[in-house]
Amino acid sequence: MRLTALAVAAAAIALGAHRVDAQPVDRWPGAAAAYVVEVDGAERWSHDASARLRPASLTKILTALVVMESAGDDELVAVSAHAAAAQGARIGLRRGMQVPVGDLMTAMLLRSANDACLALVSHVARTEKSFVAQMNARAAALGLVDSQFENACGFDGPRHRASARDLARLAHVAMAHPRFAAIVARERGQARARDGRVFKFDNTNALIGRVDGARGVKTGWTQAAGRCLVAFAERRGTAVMLVLLGAPDRWWDAVAMIETAFEEARASPAPQK
């Protein structure tokens, strides 16, 4: 797969920002099966951050990255029968509909729509197996050593796994793409088929529009994975990235973690270089 100069630059910036300046501590025991909190790219707190756990629809961050590097927003996608029959979260696409890539990306990332996800997969690759091979190759190139993907949408699988630390790294790369960042910062979105049908939906990320500075990123849930979240917020030049896997109270804990991270960053500003 050929990467654009923008994608390569974004990856380099993100990988350079992701670091562990000191041994992170478990500030929030019991908050999640695994979590990571970063402030300005440095891990502040974590628990079991390298554990290979089910990522649910956080998988779609990598799916979106592969699609962005392969297709333009204005390209029309013909919805396949396979995509129209998708299970779980969906917007109601029907076989034969034609929908722009950008609109399907919005549905996949905001609504977590599996029908939009599979339509994009079919557009980029002949089969989902081929697309997943691209995903794993991209993950390897990014150094996601504790992750392996079996499908594009985040369904549970025996070897479909990712770590909290890997997902934080992946989110940095994705957020460096203006197309991705613009979508996940929205409170709501829509997808318009060429036949005039319009699908409207809200962002499943409850932090957007409610937490100061929240800009994304993605929610996930399956019965086996539990409640999952990648969140990103930025205030007055300070950036906080949070990943929760298997979190019983993801919204309350996410808000507490984010607010505490900003408070401590204000109390202990980084030294001037």
Residue 79 lies in a domain: yes
Establish whether the linkage from the previous residue to 173 is cis, with ω within 30° of 0: no
Helical axes 164-175 vs 5-17, angle rounded to 10°: 130
Name, in order, each residue with C-beta under 8 angstroms of 227's C-beta and a sequence gap of 6 or more. 219, 220, 221, 244, 246, 247, 248, 250
Domain count, the chain: 1
Q: What is the largest CA-CA distance in the chain?
A: 57
Name, in order, each residue with C-beta under 8 angstroms of 241's C-beta and a sequence gap of 6 or more. 36, 37, 38, 41, 168, 171, 172, 230, 231, 232
- Lookup: tokens for 210: 């409610």
Residue 208 lies in a domain: yes
DSSP 210: T
SS3 category, 222: strand
Cα of 19 vs its chain's centroid, Å: 19
| Cα–Cα distance measured from residue 159 to residue 197, given in angstroms and rounded to the nearest whole number | 38
Report phi then psi at 48, rounded to 5: 50, 45
Residue 80 lies in a domain: yes
Position 1 scores a pLDDT of 35
Position 16 scores a pLDDT of 47
Q: Among 93, 121, 102, which residue's Cα sits nearest to residue 182? A: 102
DSSP run (H or E) holding 37? strand 34-39
CA distances from 224 to 19, 31, 157, 220, 248 (A): 30, 17, 10, 11, 12
Residue 189 lies in a domain: yes
> Is the Cβ–Cβ distance between 82 and 118 less than 8 Å?
yes
Residue 134 lies in a domain: yes
| Cα–Cα distance measured from residue 38 to residue 21, given in angstroms and rounded to the nearest whole number | 11
83, pLDDT greater than 60: yes
Question: Which tens digit of pLDDT belongs to each residue from 14-55?
Answer: 444 455 455 678 999 999 999 999 999 999 999 999 999 999
Question: Which tens digit of pLDDT belongs to each residue from 132-185?
Answer: 999 999 999 999 999 999 999 999 999 999 999 999 999 999 999 999 999 999
Residue 273 lies in a domain: no
Structural domain span for residue 228: 5-267
> Span 67-76, mean pLDDT?
97
How would you classify residue 139: left for phi > 0, otherwise alpha for psi between -120 and 50, otherwise beta? Answer: alpha
The CATH number linked to 246 is 3.40.710.10
Residue 272 lies in a domain: no
6, pLDDT greater than 70: no
**CB-count burial class (<10 Å; 0-12, 13-18, 19+) for 27:** middle
Query: Is the sign of the CA dihedral 197, 57, 222, 40 positive or negative?
Result: negative
Question: Which tens digit of pLDDT belongs to each residue from 191-217?
Answer: 999 999 999 999 999 999 999 999 999
Please give the model's pTM, rounded to 2 decimal places.
0.90
- Lookup: tokens for 235: 């205030």
> Is the Cβ–Cβ distance between 168 and 38 less than 8 Å?
yes
Number of helices followed by number of strands (H, E) in the chain? 9, 9
Residue 32 lies in a domain: yes
Report phi then psi at 160, rounded to 5: -85, 100
